[in-house]
Amino acid sequence: MPEPRTVATHCPYCALQCGTRLTCERAGVTVVPTDFPVNRGGLCQKGWTATSLLDVPDRLVHPMVRRGGELVAADWDTALGTVADRLRGLRAEHGPDAVAVFGGGGL
């Protein structure tokens, strides 16, 4: 059996970005909090259960683009190119105020 792979990362849920380590083994992925300045070795309920989203059956695992009204799998270059082309088109047609971006700590 291969050695478990451990990756240092951060919890994806809020702006605190608590430090974690993910260990990938045959049985699945486990999360362990690290002694990071924000969380000092602890995690909230969302952090402890973050890995449960990795194997849900309807999870997207690659970019999708709409072709003829249907969503189809695409590579990253195609997906990012599609978004860039659409944003440029909206700006050209409706002006620079037609496009906005909303950001938050949990994103």
Q: Are 25 and 39 in contact (CB under 8 A)?
A: no
Q: Mean per-residue pLDDT for 4-27?
A: 88
User: 4-13, 14-23, 83-92 — which one is most confidently predicted on average?
Assistant: 83-92
**pLDDT value at residue 56:** 87
Residue with token string 């951060």: 10
Q: Are 22 and 29 in contact (CB under 8 A)?
A: yes
> Which one is predicted more confidently, 91 or 101?
91
Q: Are 51 and 31 in contact (CB under 8 A)?
A: yes
How many CA atoms, within 13 angstroms, populate the side-chain half-sphere of residue 94? 9
The pTM assigned to this predicted structure is 0.59
